[in-house]
């Protein structure tokens, strides 16, 4: 529904394009007046064959559901059109809504077909961020669109695509945000026990050696959800205020009950 609102309420009324299949939907609408719901169904149906070969079957089945849902909501929301005085506002709002919608869909292990299928494949085999890969594919359609929507609107479309890619990357990172801790402490065993109970996952103890002190050290390494960051720091401060702590953001983690590449 959010995806359909972005197209019907902000992109089409302000003559903005899009990338991938969505971009072709807008071009066919401006050029031949073909309903976006029909274009979405036909073109994405073709691209599903590619996804069936390279992506998990569950993802493809969820994508079928997403395509049908989007076509339905494109029909339902077609009367909700906002002709804004400043098309830049439409590009910004449309980009944010697109990013949010695709983030929710991809969080559910689905895609909206089109360039998102290709982006998922690139992410799976080369590890490139999904939003960034999708932006590259979308530009292939968006750049020639100036023939139908004009040069200025084509530039606004590129702004909208960039915003949606940034929002998508942020959304996916938000859903799977992780933090890694590397802790050097004189109370490593006590601290590791407390963190294991707090984090409910494994804690790794590494053998180290202090170069300056010339003493053996135990190094604690753990990865936890971002929402546990403050609790972990508080636990460390309570047990060993003198502990040396290195905290880092984790873009992706894989294995066990952790998360795959974004």
Q: Read off the pLDDT of residues 90-144 as tens digits, 9 standing for 90 and up.
A: 999 999 999 999 889 888 888 877 777 778 788 777 878 787 888 888 888 788 7
Instruction: For the chain, give the number of residues.
Output: 262
What is d(CA 125, CA 146) in angstroms, rounded to the nearest whole number? 33
The ranges assigned to domains in the chain are 2-175, 178-250
**Range 178-250 has CATH code 3.30.70.120:** yes
- pLDDT tens for 163-214 read 998 998 888 877 767 889 999 998 999 999 999 988 877 789 999 998 888 8
Q: How confident is the model at residue 227 (pLDDT cuts 50, 70, 90)?
A: confident
- pLDDT tens for 242-251 read 999 999 988 6
Any idea what DSSP says for residue 217? E
**pLDDT, position 253:** 67
Any idea what DSSP says for residue 9? I
Cα 99 to chain centroid distance, Å, stands at 8
pTM above 0.85, yes or no: no
């Amino acid at each position: 529904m959010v995806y359909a609102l972005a197209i019907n309420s902000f992109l089409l009324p302000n003559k903005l394009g899009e990338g991938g299949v969505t971009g072709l939907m807008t071009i066919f609408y401006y050029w031949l007046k073909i309903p976006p719901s029909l274009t979405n169904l036909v073109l994405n149906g073709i691209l599903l064959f590619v996804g069936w070969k390279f992506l998990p079957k569950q993802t493809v089945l969820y994508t079928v559901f997403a395509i049908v849902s989007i076509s339905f909501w494109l029909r339902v929301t077609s009367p909700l059109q906002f002709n804004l005085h400043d098309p830049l506002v439409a590009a910004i709002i449309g980009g944010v809504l697109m990013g949010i919608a695709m983030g929710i869909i991809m969080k559910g292990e689905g895609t909206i077909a089109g360039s998102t299928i290709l982006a998922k494949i690139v992410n799976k085999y080369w590890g490139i961020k999904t939003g960034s890969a999708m932006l590259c594919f979308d530009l292939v359609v968006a750049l020639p669109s100036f023939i139908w929507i004009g040069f200025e609107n084509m530039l606004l479309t590129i702004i909208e695509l960039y915003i949606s890619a940034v929002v998508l990357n942020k959304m996916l990172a938000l859903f799977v945000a992780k933090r890694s801790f590397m802790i050097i402490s004189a109370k490593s065993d006590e601290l590791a026990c407390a963190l294991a109970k707090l984090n409910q996952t494994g804690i790794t103890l590494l053998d180290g050696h202090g170069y300056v002190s010339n003493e053996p050290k135990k190094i604690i390494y753990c990865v936890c959800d971002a929402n546990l960051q403050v609790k972990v720091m508080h636990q460390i401060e309570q047990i060993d205020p003198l502990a040396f702590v290195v905290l880092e953001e984790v873009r992706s983690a894989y294995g066990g009950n952790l998360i795959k590449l974004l």
